[in-house]
Each structure stands twice: as structure tokens, then as C-alpha cells.
Amino acid sequence: MSTRIWISVAALLFSLIATGCANNVDGASQTQTHTVTASAGVGGSVTPTSVSVVAGASTALAVIPNTGYSIASVTPTGCAGTLMGNTYTTGPITADCAVAASFVANVATNTFTVTASAGAGGSITPASVSVIEGASTVLAVIPNTGYSIASITPTGCTGTLTAGSTYTTGPITANCTVTASFSLNSYTVTATAGAGGGISPGNATVAYGTKTTFTVIPSAGYTASATGCGGALMGNTYTTGAITANCAVMASFTLNSYTVTATSIAAGGITPASATVAYGAKTNFTVIPNPGFSIAGVTASGCSGILLGFTYTTDPITANCSVTARFAIGVATSLTAGYGHTCVLISAGTVRCWGRNLYGELGNGTSTDSTTPVTVIGLSDTVTALAAGDSHTCALTSAGAVQCWGRNNYGQLGSGGTTDFTTAVTVSGLSGPVTALAAGYGHTCALTSSGEVQCWGWNVTGQLGNSSTTDSTRPVTVVGLSGAATAVVAGTTHTCAVISPGAVQCWGSNSNGELGNGSTTPNMSITPVTVTGLHGLATALQAGYLHTCALSSTGAVECWV
């Protein structure tokens, strides 16, 4: 056997030598090479892609299929070769040649189930799908109207949500589950308000398909309206329709207008007959009495106002209302005023008062203040003169009687008691017909036709002149007058009278010299004392809070305090 091996080796060496000699004989000075070019189809690769090979030699190429693929074939062109596993070895290369590899996808023997489920608010399809091992699958995730995809949770596999609602798994290598959850959409409802009111809340976050409410509050004198989000306003509540997207609610407000209607009751007129007035504004009416009549007053229903001359001006209007002008026969002939009220004598002999009415000093049967004249109730005859104290009023009738109304805490009404009266009550106990009246803070005095002076009411400083300091609820006669009185006046707590033919006597408080006798001592007199120092005969008197003035026959005015 050894002899045969050595013979073979010797033969090989001889062949190589002979080949070399032959090449030298051809005159070649370099070794000849050829290029083997490799290419691969889909599913794998061949490396190297190009290689230079010495003529007559072989070369090896690596044929590598991708995962999931196998080598289908290796096809040489211009050369031959053999595939062993993933290695393709050419035969002796005698010219340039090409090797092309093709691949085929493996046919899996295993399949797995992908199970899909969805929570409330949507669906996922298909619910179950069989997938070849290593392959992927696609699931459609569909939210219901008003919902959005909250999450996709795979168990036993992976995946990605793309294109909004497409879920693509990764390669499947085992049974797995995919769970989709959904969330109900929320939207913002924004609320705004124009001038004249407000709306709250300013905005609201609302779940799809539900409604929400807003409170619309107009300012005083405005009317509200609202629009937006398919809603409606009921009272002050605006309720939207079912919300399906972001939307806005707008509240607007309109300033109200009201009608003031004017009417008159006989003997005159009022213009205009009606007026349209914006909330909070005022309006004017002109009140015109017929000849021989006067304005008795203007009453209002649903509004108020004030009459100045012939013009009635309403207060700010806040609702529909009406005003009525009233007229009386005659015109005003005289006035008297107390602390907070005023009374007027009408030529027809009636009395009308206005102002404070806390104690019934307006005489209209109530204790309600009035900004317009009201008629005194209970007068027994036509009135010829008036006198007002602090909170009471007295009237002299054409028959010479006296009637009073208002506060009576000192008996100043002459009713025999101290109960206040809101209508006229007759003074009883007068010694004769009365020709003149005077009223102080809490007392009243009357001048009778015989020249006597009688007084009643408060007497703390002797202002009743009856030689006493005791109050009297009935008339008492002033004692000590030096003659017949022709006029009488009353201050706060003192009284004075003109004594024919023109002297003046006073009684009551003298702490400030109101008696005019040249001294303040004593500080009061319970009977009349004569005023000294007058330069002429007095023809008229007027008394204030603490002082008195006289008009003399010479035209001079003299005062004392």
C-alpha cells in the first residue's frame, strides 16, 4: 500500500511540473483568474456577492435564508457546484460565472389563537383569529359614538396601534389575548354674558350625550335670553341639549320698558295720556285744572312721584304703573306748617295736608306719610283759618268752631283726653265763637269774638296763661289781660296777644326774654305781662321758636328775645 501512495504522489508532482512546463512553453508570465458573481432572491442572501478565483480552482459561497425561509435552489451559470447545508462549493472555475440562490417561505406546522375582547363603549374585531406561528395579525378597534380608545392591553403578545383604530400584533409565538378599553368623551361648554346680567358657571365640562345647566341672572330692570348648544331658557335656568362637541352658550339682556298710564278725575286734565319709560328712568306729566279748580293731588299705583306746580315727576320706573290727577273746587288761600307737615286752605273751605304723618297730623285717617296733598277728613263745616303746631293742626270753621287733629300727648287737640286723632275732632268748652287761632309746640290758643283768649294743651311754663303750670285737655281762659285781645300768636312755650288798641302782652317761658318785659327774671310768667319799649301801636304779631315780632302802625317791625 505504501508503494502505491508514493507512486501517486510522484505522479502528482510530475503532473504539476509538466503543467508548469507547458505554461512556460506557452510563454504565460501570470496566473489566470475568473470572477464568480453571486445573487439572492427574496428570503435570503449569498455571500460573498463577488469573488476572484484562480483558473481551475474552486470557491465556496455561504447561502443564508432569512428566518422563516429555506433554500429552494442554487443555480450556477458558467460553472458547476454542489450545495452542502448552507455552503455552495463550485467546481473548477475555467471562466467567469454566476451563482443565483432562491428561497421559499417555510410552511409552519403550528398555529396560535389571538382572542380579542372590548370593554363598554366600543368593539374589536375579529373576536378571535388563528395565526401561523411567527406571523402577525391585524385587529380593528372601533369606539362607539362619543367614546375614544383608552388603551389596548395585550397578554402573551405585543402590538402597535396605528392609523387611529388599527392594532397590529407582533409575530405570534403562542396563544394570546388583546383587550381594548374605551373612555366616554368629555367636552367643554363655555358660557359668556353681555351687558345687563351674568351667567354662571363660566364653563362646564360635560360627558358626551349628557346635558348641563347654567344660571342666567339679569340685573334689575333687564330681561334675559340665551342661545347655544341646543338649549332652552326656563326662568333663570338655561339647560343645554345633549352635548356632542365643544360648544358655547351666550346670555344677552335687554333693558325693560314700562308703560305709565295717566288719567284725570273731572275738572282738569293730565298729559300725555301714557308714556313708555325705560327701567330706572323718570317721566313727567303736566296737570292742568279747569278754571275755578285747583289740583287736589296726583295719586299713583305701582309707582310714586312728586307734584311741583303743574308738573308731576315720577320716581324711577320699575314696573307698569298708573297716575291719576284729582281736582278740587277753589284755589289755595292760606298755608300753615308744622315740624314736618304742611296744610293748605282751599277757597272752597276744604283743607289738604302733606308730609310727615307719624301722629295723624295730615288728618286723612292714616298715619302714613304722604308726598302729595291729602284731604282732611271729619271737618264739620267750611274752614276759614288754619294753625299748625309741632305735630298737630287746628282749623277754624265758618261757624266759629275749632277742630283739631294729630298729636295729643299734652291735650293740644282740646278733645278732653290725650289720645292722638288721625281725623278732625271738635274742641269743646270754648266760651264763644272763635275768630282767630294760634298753635305752639304742644299748646293751642283761640281768640273769641268777645276778645277773650282761651288756650289748652302743654302748660309747663305757664303758656296757657291761666295762672297755673298744669296741662289742660280743655280750653282755659287766660287771666290778667288788660283789655280785649285782637290777635294771638304762640311760640314754642310762650304766647302773646295784641290788646286793643295796640299794646302787647305775653305769658309763658321767659328764659330767653321771650316775654319782652325787659328782664329774664323770673324765667316764666303764668299770667300776662306787658311788653315794654314798643314805638307805636301793634297791629300784628308773629312768634318764632324763642322770639316774637310786632308790626306797628308806623310800619316798623320790633322784635324781642
pLDDT of res. 379: 94
**In the predicted model, is pLDDT for residue 353 greater than 50?**
yes
Instruction: Yes or no: say if 462 and 496 are a contact pair by the CB < 8 Å rule.
Output: no
**In the predicted model, is pLDDT for residue 2 greater than 60?**
no
**74, 75, 79, 82 alpha-carbon torsion, rounded to 10°:** 30
pLDDT of res. 8: 35
pLDDT of res. 109: 67
User: How, if at all, do strands 60-65 and 44-47 pair?
Assistant: antiparallel
Average pLDDT, the chain: 91
Q: Show me where the domains of the chain are located.
A: 35-107, 111-184, 186-255, 257-330, 335-428, 440-561
Q: Which of the residue ranges 129-138, 289-298, 400-409 has the most confident prediction, judged by mean pLDDT?
A: 400-409
Q: Which range has the worst mean pLDDT, 1-10, 263-272, 458-467, 509-518?
A: 1-10
pLDDT of res. 163: 79
Backbone angles phi, psi at 16, to 5 degrees: -60, -40
Which set of grid coordinates corresponds to residue 330? 277753589
- Would the pTM of this model clear 0.75, i.e. be above it? no
Tens digits of residue pLDDT in 135-177: 999 999 999 999 999 999 999 999 999 878 999 999 999 999 9
Q: Which residue carries 285781645 as its cell?
A: 485
State mean pLDDT over 231-246.
96
pLDDT of res. 545: 93
Q: Which range has the worst mean pLDDT, 182-196, 327-341, 352-366, 384-398?
A: 327-341
State mean pLDDT over 286-305.
89
pLDDT of res. 362: 97
**Cα-to-chain-centroid distance, residue 374:** 41
pLDDT of res. 30: 62
**In the predicted model, is pLDDT for residue 238 greater than 60?**
yes
State mean pLDDT over 428-444.
96
Q: How far apart are CA 289 and CA 298, in angstroms?
A: 12
- The answer for residues whose C-beta is within 8 angstroms of residue 333's C-beta and 6 or more apart is 345, 346, 347
Tens digits of residue pLDDT in 269-283: 999 999 999 999 999
State mean pLDDT over 65-83.
91
pLDDT exceeding 70 applies to what percent of the chain?
94
State mean pLDDT over 219-233.
96
Tens digits of residue pLDDT in 381-420: 999 999 999 999 999 999 999 999 999 999 999 999 999 9
Max CA separation in the chain (angstroms): 199
pLDDT of res. 121: 94
Which segments of 33-185 are extended strands (E)? 33-40, 44-47, 50-54, 60-65, 69-77, 81-84, 87-90, 97-105, 111-118, 122-125, 128-132, 138-143, 147-155, 159-162, 166-169, 176-184
State mean pLDDT over 70-89.
94
State mean pLDDT over 312-330.
92
CA angle 409, 412, 413 (to 5 degrees): 105
pLDDT tier for residue 179 given thresholds of 50, 70 and 90: very high
Q: Which CATH architecture has domain 335-428?
A: Beta Barrel (2.40)
- The answer for residues whose C-beta is within 8 angstroms of residue 9's C-beta and 6 or more apart is none
State mean pLDDT over 231-235.
96
Tens digits of residue pLDDT in 479-490: 999 999 999 999
Which set of grid coordinates corresponds to residue 179? 383587550
